[in-house]
Amino acid sequence: MNAVLELDAAAPTSLSTLASWVEEVAALTCPDAIRWCDGSQREYDALLAGMEADGTLIALNPDTHPGCWLHRSDPEDVARVEHLTFVCTRDAEAAGPNNQWMAPDQAHGKMDALFAGCMRGRILYVVPYCMGPIDSPLSRCGVEITDSPYVVANMRLMTRMGAQALQRIEREGHFVRGLHSLGELDPDRRFIMHFPEELSIQSYGSGYGGNALLGKKCHALRIASWQAREEGWLAEHMLIVGIENPQGDTHYIAAAFPSACGKTNLAMLVPPPAYREAGWKVWTVGDDICWMRPGPDGQLWAINPEAGYFGVAPGTSAKSNPNALAMIQRDTIYTNVALTDDCQPWWEGLDDRAPAFDWQGRPYDPANGPAAHPNARFTVAARQCPSWSPRAEDPQGVPISAIVFGGRRATTMPLVFEARDWRHGVFVGATMASETTAAATGQVGLVRRDPMAMKPFCGYHFGDYFAHWLSFDEPGARLPKIFHVNWFRKDADGNFLWPGFGENLRVLEWIIARVEGRVGAEDGLPGFMPLEHHFAEGLGVDPDRVALALQVDQGEWAIEQRAQDQFWAESRDRSARFDASAPSSEGEEATEL
């Protein structure tokens, strides 16, 4: 490999702060060699070949899945670990009740002890990356140091990684510092530490995506949310999707849902046949993270800082997400999926074939649980998606017409409603809740408050975060309308009331009609509710079930409001100023056309 350097060789960068940081880290971690990654195909191929040789990756069936690989993680290292994730600010209050806090000195002491000598026998990779289009003023850069070639390969798919990013970093002179080691993969020696004041991240003891691909949750959400507050923008856990109507006009919608609630599916939605024939098109800009900033025209302009998708495999099928299925047929890294007997990737919900091996490589036995881990993932370059939007590369970003919040709620929350104004919309996002999923360790299926789907990702005090959101409502602002959706409402027998997937376009159509001021709404308990809509037209679902999905039950709503009050009480102090200003759900005027 041309880029392998001995420890004492000169670093290939003109930026002395970067060169000296790499030297310091090498002195602490004692790697056998240092490799500066250039992001080339050659480098990527060599990394994959090395991982195949040492068993880190298994080549999948080259006829059905060319260029695809399977990685089996340590069985104890399969999801984000919120209980081991910390925000380390000088002032404990700044991290807020929504984060675990540790004093920076204490955290550094702990992490230095863990990192000491941890790369002996390993290669230290230096991974310069850019979050966002390489020439966008909205983008931000970082450098991740890691001893995991799996992380390097994933970072190449997920970010603009390598020589061009390094050039931008050298030009700008600053970058977010991320230090990662697999360590021993011991859950008792695992920490994910964030130092927003130092713009740095330290992650030890996990190879799992959200803990180890530091550009993603750690940088693009926790650190970026802190930077965004200081600089007047928003770093959000949102997909970005463009909806093109038959007249050729495209509206961009940003939508926040908690992990594993169908963000990727919504971002890649395939219109139902009647909509497709009428000329509706869907364009995927991003499936997980959205950075938004007010433009000179007062609108919010957004970029997807990522260049790839790290999606949940189970449940992905020709029905739920045909675009995703098409894009992961080639050049994809799978993690913790099952295998068929001819070495094709398989997971629950894909099809009715029988798997041969489970995610741990054991002959499949239903007594051992699901064949694929419920949080099994695929990593793939965004451009491979058939609905990929070329606007994902636009340095100016895309203008956002609507913001949608949503959660997984069996009861209470209707299919859709609109917030009365920005202030109310912030309240709706702040009080959002969802049933927990397998994307994080812990019990699945509990309703928890997850404001703006940022509970695990906001790098500072939620009270300050809500205040930051409110601050965008200023003279001259042309802010998006805010909506709330729930695709997951169930009837008394536990069956979903709404078919979801491609049919969700019907709800997005109503949202766009509201944005354009073309349809009326009535004021209901949660906000403005649909009057005219096409939700049930030609849907093949009993319209009474759709009506039930749209309904708000007074008793359930009262319980919801008590739960919201309890949430505000927990985040008292800084959120109090916001709580006091929250609109009541009664006495507002219905919107006129």
Applying CB under 6 A, the residues found at the interface with ligand OXD are 80, 209-210, 259, 288, 310, 439
47 binds, among ligand OXD, Mn ion, none (CB under 5 to 8 A by kind): none
Cβ proximity to ligand OXD: between 15 and 261 the closer is: 261
223, 201 Cβ separation under 8 angstroms: yes
Answer positive or negative: Cα dihedral of 156, 158, 164, 168: negative
272 binds, among Mn ion, ligand OXD, none (CB under 5 to 8 A by kind): none
210 binds, among ligand OXD, Mn ion, none (CB under 5 to 8 A by kind): ligand OXD
Cβ 237 to Mn ion, closest distance in Å? 6
Cβ proximity to Mn ion: between 288 and 450 the closer is: 288
Closest CA to 459 of 21, 96, 67: 96
312, 78 Cβ separation under 8 angstroms: no
- What strand order describes the sheet that includes 308-312? 58-59, 69-71, 333-335, 377-381, 308-312
Cβ proximity to Mn ion: between 169 and 267 the closer is: 267
Cβ 210 to Mn ion, closest distance in Å? 8
Cβ proximity to ligand OXD: between 123 and 439 the closer is: 439
Q: Helix axis angle, 422-430 relative to 462-470, nearest 10°?
A: 160
190, 183 Cβ separation under 8 angstroms: yes
Cβ 312 to ligand OXD, closest distance in Å? 7
> Mapping DSSP to helix (H, G, I), strand (E, B) and coil, where does residue 548 land?
helix
Q: Pick the catalytic residue: 261, 290, 385, 458?
A: 261
Cα separation, 525 vs 94, whole angstroms: 34
Q: Where are the alpha helices (DSSP H) in 79-126?
A: 92-95, 104-115
492-527: b (≥16 Cβ within 10 Å) or e: eeeeebbbbbbbbbbbbbbbbbbbeeebebebbbbb
Cβ 79 to ligand OXD, closest distance in Å? 8
Cβ 265 to ligand OXD, closest distance in Å? 13
534: left (phi over 0), alpha (psi -120 to 50) or beta: alpha
Cβ proximity to ligand OXD: between 260 and 529 the closer is: 260
Cβ proximity to ligand OXD: between 195 and 378 the closer is: 378
Cβ proximity to ligand OXD: between 450 and 509 the closer is: 450
- The residue type found at 133 is P
Cβ proximity to ligand OXD: between 280 and 457 the closer is: 457
Answer positive or negative: Cα dihedral of 133, 219, 229, 265: positive
Residue 130 annotated in active site: no
Cβ 80 to ligand OXD, closest distance in Å? 6
Sequence-ordered list of residues with C-beta below 8 angstroms from that of 27, at least 6 positions apart, any chain: none
567 binds, among ligand OXD, Mn ion, none (CB under 5 to 8 A by kind): none
Cβ 316 to Mn ion, closest distance in Å? 15
Cβ 540 to Mn ion, closest distance in Å? 32
Q: Helix axis angle, 149-158 relative to 41-53, nearest 10°?
A: 140
80 binds, among ligand OXD, Mn ion, none (CB under 5 to 8 A by kind): ligand OXD
Cα separation, 93 vs 224, whole angstroms: 19
259, 307 Cβ separation under 8 angstroms: no
483 binds, among Mn ion, ligand OXD, none (CB under 5 to 8 A by kind): none
Cβ 231 to ligand OXD, closest distance in Å? 24
Phi–psi pair at 495, nearest 5 degrees: -95, 140
286 binds, among Mn ion, ligand OXD, none (CB under 5 to 8 A by kind): none
76-110: b (≥16 Cβ within 10 Å) or e: ebbbbbbebbbbbbeeeebbbbbbebbebeebbeb
- The residue type found at 428 is V
Cα separation, 471 vs 453, whole angstroms: 19
Cβ proximity to ligand OXD: between 375 and 431 the closer is: 375
Using CB under 5 A as the criterion, which residues of the chain lie in contact with Mn ion when the complex forms? 259, 288
Query: Catalytic residue numbers?
Result: 261
